[in-house]
């Protein structure tokens, strides 16, 4: 086995692990994860269910194809290329779903892409910048739109610029500036709670005096 950039592969066979699920004797392709786990899969399943594996780059039987993903990700990913019940991702956390979602997009494992997209939506409140990056790079505009307001208060302009594709940076700066323009205006308004309604109005009356006819609380 040989090493490729970004992967430290130990050539000592005693330190390799063979997947308990993907070890069919008639499998004609061997993949090895970044943490030295090997997966024996069938070429025909890759050809039918994936669009991201280049058939010309996959080496012949008896050799090993090195992948940068961890075994925990590949063991889930490869389950989606076989005609079996797919794994339930309902209880998996962000640390499991995120790398799986990126791998599904990278290798175009179509059966996994949609369920990963659905699960990633649930992490917008807790990982808005990560989700906006995922949506931006993989063409999920609804995720970008949903995450963007939350990113404003949780990440700096530099952090966002480093996370987005270059073609989106100008749009983000304009969006960010629009929020900065709104904040001073919002601070000049108060919510007034009357007996039968709630009024949002300027903190000063028409003559420049504070309202005194209602109980006010700052927004």
Determine the pLDDT at residue 168.
92
Which tokens sit at 156?
């700096």
Determine the pLDDT at residue 18.
92
Determine the pLDDT at residue 52.
79
Residue-level pLDDT, tens digit, the chain, 219 residues = 333 333 344 444 458 899 999 999 999 899 999 999 999 999 999 988 888 776 666 765 568 899 999 999 999 999 999 999 999 999 999 999 999 999 999 999 999 999 999 999 999 999 999 999 999 999 999 999 999 999 988 898 899 999 999 999 999 999 888 888 876 666 666 555 555 555 555 555 444 444 444 444 444
Determine the pLDDT at residue 16.
86
Q: In the beta sheet, which residues pair with residue 39?
A: 31
Determine the pLDDT at residue 9.
42
Class of domain 1-123: alpha beta
Determine the pLDDT at residue 5.
34
Closest CA to 74 of 28, 121, 40: 40
Q: Give domain limits for the chain.
A: 1-123
Determine the pLDDT at residue 158.
92
Determine the pLDDT at residue 195.
58
């Amino acid at each position: 086995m040989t090493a490729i950039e970004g992967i430290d592969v130990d050539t000592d066979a005693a330190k390799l692990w063979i997947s308990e699920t993907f070890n069919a004797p008639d499998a004609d392709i061997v993949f090895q994860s970044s943490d030295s786990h090997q997966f024996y899969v069938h070429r025909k399943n890759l050809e039918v269910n994936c669009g991201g594996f280049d058939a010309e780059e996959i080496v012949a039987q008896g050799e090993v194809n090195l992948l940068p993903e961890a075994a925990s990700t590949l063991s889930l990913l490869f389950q989606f290329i076989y005609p079996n019940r797919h794994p339930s991702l309902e209880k998996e956390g962000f640390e499991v779903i995120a790398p799986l979602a990126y791998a599904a997009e990278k290798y175009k494992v179509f059966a996994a892409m949609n369920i990963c997209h659905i699960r990633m939506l649930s992490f917008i409140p807790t990982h808005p910048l990560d989700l906006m990056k995922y949506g931006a790079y993989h063409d999920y505009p609804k995720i970008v739109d949903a995450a963007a307001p939350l990113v404003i208060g949780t990440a700096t302009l530099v952090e966002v610029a480093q996370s987005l594709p270059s073609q989106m940076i100008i749009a983000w700066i304009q969006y960010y500036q629009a929020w900065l323009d709104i904040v001073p205006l919002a601070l000049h308004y108060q919510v007034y709670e009357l007996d039968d309604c709630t009024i949002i109005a300027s903190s000063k009356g028409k003559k420049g005096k504070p309202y005194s006819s209602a109980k006010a609380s700052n927004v």
